[in-house]
């Protein structure tokens, strides 16, 4: 599957940051969220849900991995996150954020960056 290696590395990276991965490849009509994770709050309580889009570019010929994220993709991520919140958790007012994890170079060894999505 295209992108599976990058998503595996991204999930491992997020776990290394102390996050709990709740879902991968969460699908809904018209969109998908690559990884849903939870950051634990400093006091050990629930924390923040994080919806992560994984982008990888083996070569920079057509731009960086970050440059491949379009406004349309961000809008789809936002809609998919709201769907996840309401469908899976029954509410849409929980602390959460969107981010993009990029890998520039091979999935196994490329450089990783985490970018918060600002709306």
pLDDT at 54: 95
Tell me: the pLDDT tens digits for 75-109?
Answer: 999 999 999 999 999 998 889 999 999 999 998 99
DSSP character at residue 38: E
Domains, the chain, ranges and CATH?
4-116 (3.40.1350.10)
Q: How far apart are CA 82 and CA 80, in angstroms?
A: 5
pLDDT at 14: 96
Contact 19, 50 (CB under 8 A): yes
Contact 32, 24 (CB under 8 A): no
pLDDT at 1: 46
Q: How far apart are CA 51 and CA 2, in angstroms?
A: 20
pTM higher than 0.75:
yes
Residue 119 has pLDDT above 70, yes or no: no
When pLDDT is averaged across residues 69-73 and rounded to a whole number, the result is 89
**For the chain, what is the mean pLDDT?**
89
Instruction: Tell me which of 63 and 71 has the higher pLDDT.
Output: 71
């Amino acid at each position: 599957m295209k992108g599976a290696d990058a998503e595996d590395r991204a999930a491992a990276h997020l776990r290394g940051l102390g996050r709990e991965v709740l879902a991968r490849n969460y699908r809904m009509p018209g969109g998908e969220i690559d990884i849903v994770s939870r950051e634990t709050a400093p006091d050990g309580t629930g924390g923040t849900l994080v919806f992560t889009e994984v982008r990888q570019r083996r070569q920079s010929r057509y731009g960086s991995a970050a440059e491949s994220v379009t406004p349309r993709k961000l809008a789809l991520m936002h809609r998919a996150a709201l769907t996840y919140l309401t469908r899976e958790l029954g509410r849409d007012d929980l602390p959460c954020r969107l981010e993009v994890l990029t890998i520039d170079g091979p999935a196994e060894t490329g450089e990783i960056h985490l970018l918060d999505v600002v709306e």
